[in-house]
């Protein structure tokens, strides 16, 4: 399809609107770019109104997309309620990109607990509420796409710190079960597991990106293009840098093998100690 056809009102109406959280920078801003160029209208959510307005102007000019900005701090209950209301009331929304997230730096022992609490509110609580509401709406309409941005540290918690990795393990687990719950109603669900990606998240969390190994860092455009290719392929889990999908399939198979033995009537023999009088 030509860009003119992608920009046509009829094509846009057929795709509907994508609501993207954390759209003011990094991964979210590239999703906004790519989805507008694919023919989606957009609702951009984040706190930085100036950056959201600049992105809106640029993408409107380039694509003719209808774009609205919803300025919201997703750790604030009233702001989050505005986004939730938008998901319920705007029936043109066909896609949620649950992307907004922050990282914490350092070990849990001695951590700044206010920072950890804010991260959990954003990465876990807000993401869960929005995923739940979008699921309800999409199931009722028998269509929709729900993308949750997790991280490879969901699979390799030792690579990073405890609290951030745990929030991303939550997102992975939530997405896997959500898929089981709603895919039968025509709703597509995807978890994206980026590795280290060149965005502002590092500086924002007080980590010097210059100290990260260059061979492990992906550019953000490449990351989002790969994630969207995975979405087009109908993947539930997309790990953009993983060369061989058999590694993932084998991992899932190993987990499935545990299944029949994870809940049984009796403890395993190695835990059955002989009672001493
Ligand atoms: P980023 O450039 O720092 O973007 C984070 C986005 O979240 C910004 O748009 C920010 O906008 C928004 N945000 C932060 N706090 C918010 C709040 N309280 N309310 C609403 N929006 C808020 O980082 P990024 O790397 O693109 O991160 C996007 C997602 O990718 C996150 O979930 C992150 O965990 C995940 N991820 C990143 C990497 C990586 O290496 N970069 C790796 C794995 C996973 P405002 O400041 O304008 O609110």
E strand or H helix at 167: helix 162-182
List residues bridging with 135 in a β-sheet.
none
Ligand 1 pocket mutation pick from 46, 152, 227 by most atoms within 8 angstroms of CB = 46
Ligand 1 center–CA 218 separation, angstroms? 16
CB 121 within 8 A of CB 100: no
pTM here is: 0.96
CB neighbours (10 Å) of residue 59? Answer: 20
Half-sphere exposure in the Cβ direction for 204 (13 Å, CA): 12
Q: Give the pLDDT confidence score for residue 9 in this predicted structure.
A: 74
List residues bridging with 63 in a β-sheet.
none
Q: Give the pLDDT confidence score for residue 277 in this predicted structure.
A: 61
- Report the pocket of ligand 1 as residue ranges, CB < 6 Å: 22-28, 46-48, 72-75, 99-103, 122, 149, 151, 194, 196-197, 199-201, 204
Q: Give the pLDDT confidence score for residue 276 in this predicted structure.
A: 66
CB 25 within 8 A of CB 224: no
Ligand 1 pocket mutation pick from 199, 211, 219 by most atoms within 8 angstroms of CB = 199
Q: Which CATH topology does 3-244 take?
A: Rossmann fold (3.40.50)
pLDDT tens-place values along the chain, 277 residues long: 776 777 777 777 789 999 999 999 999 999 999 999 999 999 999 999 999 999 999 999 999 999 999 999 999 999 999 999 999 999 999 999 999 999 998 999 999 999 999 999 999 999 999 999 999 999 999 999 999 999 999 999 999 999 999 999 999 999 999 999 999 999 999 999 999 999 999 989 888 878 889 999 999 999 999 999 999 999 999 999 999 999 999 999 999 999 999 999 999 999 998 876 6
Q: Give the pLDDT confidence score for residue 164 in this predicted structure.
A: 97
Q: What angle do CA 239, 241, 246 make, to 5 degrees?
A: 65
């Amino acid at each position: 399809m030509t860009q003119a056809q992608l920009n046509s009102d009829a094509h846009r109406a057929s795709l509907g609107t994508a609501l993207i959280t954390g759209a003011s920078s990094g991964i979210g801003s590239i999703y906004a770019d790519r989805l507008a160029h694919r023919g989606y209208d957009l609702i951009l959510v984040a706190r930085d109104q100036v950056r959201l307005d600049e992105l809106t102007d640029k993408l409107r000019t380039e694509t003719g997309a209808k774009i609205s900005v919803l300025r919201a701090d997703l750790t604030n209950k009233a702001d989050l309620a505005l986004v939730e209301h938008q998901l319920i009331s705007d029936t043109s929304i066909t896609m949620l990109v649950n992307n907004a997230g922050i990282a914490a730096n350092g070990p849990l022992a001695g951590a700044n607990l206010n920072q950890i609490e804010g991260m959990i509110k954003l990465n876990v609580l807000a993401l869960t509420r929005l995923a739940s509401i979008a699921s309800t709406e999409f199931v009722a309409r028998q269509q929709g796409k729900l993308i949750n941005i997790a991280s490879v540290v969901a699979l390799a918690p030792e690579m990073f710190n405890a609290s951030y990795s745990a929030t991303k393990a939550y997102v992975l687990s939530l997405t896997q079960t959500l898929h089981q719950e709603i895919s039968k109603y025509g709703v597509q669900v995807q978890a994206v597991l980026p590795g280290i990606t060149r965005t502002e998240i590092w500086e924002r969390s007080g980590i010097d990106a210059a100290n990260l190994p260059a061979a492990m860092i992906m550019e953000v455009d490449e990351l989002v293009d790969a994630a969207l290719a995975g979405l087009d392929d109908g993947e539930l889990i997309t790990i953009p840098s993983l060369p061989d999908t058999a590694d993932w399939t084998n991992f899932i198979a190993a987990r499935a093998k545990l299944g029949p033995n994870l809940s049984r009537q009796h403890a395993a023999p190695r835990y059955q100690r002989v009672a001493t009088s």
